[in-house]
Amino acid sequence: MSLQAFPSPWLTDEHRMLHDSATRFFRERWVPLAAQWREAGQMPLATWREAGAQGLLCTSTPAEYGGAGGDFGHDAVVFMAATRAVLSGFGGGLHTSIVAPYLFHCGTEQQKRRWLPKMVAGELVGAIAMTEPGTGSDLQSVRTSATRDGDHYVINGAKTFITNGQNANLIIVVCKTDRSLGAKGTSLIVVETDTLGARDSTPGFRRGRRLDKVGLKSQDTSELFFDQVRVPAENLLGGREGQGFFQLMQQLPQERLQIACQAVAAMERALEETLAYVKERHAFGKPIWEFQNTRFKLAEVQATVLATRAFVDACMVAHLAGQLDAARAALAKAWVTEQEGKVMDECLQLFGGYGYMMEYPIAELYVNARVQRIYGGTNEIMKELASRSM
């Protein structure tokens, strides 16, 4: 479904051109390989450099750090195009719209010049290691520690559910530099895994298993382990201890808006797929589309999709103007992903037994949608955050 179909107020001609270019690249180059990547459980590391060469990474990063100098809208049209193409293994949205902004907004000048150009090129693949076994969405309960030892920090701990976990070689680790201070003792430290010029050459760093998930089968979501990992003190994001929790809170609204954008893109693709299916398939001697129940169900789905798109567009306008607060972003993430689940369920039902077959995009869209209500902060936590501003 083309973005031209929607009079979204935040979209410029430049955004649309980038979206169309990304859509064409994904369709022609990566979609034919998607089934192979699902079987492998991840996309090849080489795809990151390919995305960088196509100008599809870190488009909002300023030109002085190697980026295109765009805004979050440029990032959004790329990861929405990937979502519509059902390329769930591509963690470019996190790399571009979450990891890179942490470096740009929170990093020192030296850190920005050191890492951002390589992220733009796909030479560095970004990840952020927040969640730990047993802590879930509670970032204040982080147990991973970073102890200062001369010119280094020594990191110990374990992380799980890490997007890009197998491919990433630039990982922002949420850790405690002072346990006595609670949230105020949280810091973000950047771990480079290829410090000796070889893959995973950093002593003490280890990738665990690539996790076997319900959906997102080609996404290399993983466990990560840190055992006496020595990291130069200059890798402390921002150069000051105890800033981590503030840095996290500052960037989380954009992460939640990203999830909402991905949700509406998936919903639009699901509706498109379902309309095509019911108009070409027959049951009891006539097209499925001719059954009144089918038309009524899809009219309801269309209304949900259009309403959701309008809400996301309003949030995008606010965010691009610097006016999207944490409560509204949380509410958007929760409500939009819940609508996504409903839409996927209704659309898959209209495919009958074929909707349960992974060779049909609707099946993958359905299973991929479930995690949207969990990651980025569970929807229950999102509603709690939203309610505090009422």
* Residues involved in catalysis: 255
Strands annotated E in 268-371: 282-283, 286-287
Q: How far apart are CA 176 and CA 171, in angstroms?
A: 16
The residue written with tokens 């195009």 in the block is: 81
Q: Any bridge partners for residue 155, and if so which?
A: 146, 229
Q: How far apart are CA 331 and CA 312, in angstroms?
A: 11
Q: Any bridge partners for residue 192, and if so which?
A: 170
Report DSSP letters for 77-140, one per residue. HHHHHHHHTT-TT-THHHIIIIIHHHHHHHS-HHHHHHHHHHHHHTSS-EEEE---TTTTT-GG
Residue 16 in tokens: 């649309």
Q: Any bridge partners for residue 210, and if so which?
A: 222
Residue 373 in tokens: 């209500």
Report DSSP letters for 25-70, one per residue. HIIIIIGGGHHHHHHHTS--THHHHHHHHTT-S-TTS-GGGTS---
Rounded to the nearest 10 degrees, how much is the dihedral formed by the CA atoms of 264, 270, 271, 275? Answer: 170
Closest CA to 30 of 96, 90, 79: 90
Which residues fall within 8 angstroms of residue 230, CB to CB, at 6 or more apart? 149, 152, 153, 154, 155, 203, 204
Do residues 71 and 60 touch, judged by C-beta distance below 8 A? yes
Do residues 111 and 190 touch, judged by C-beta distance below 8 A? yes
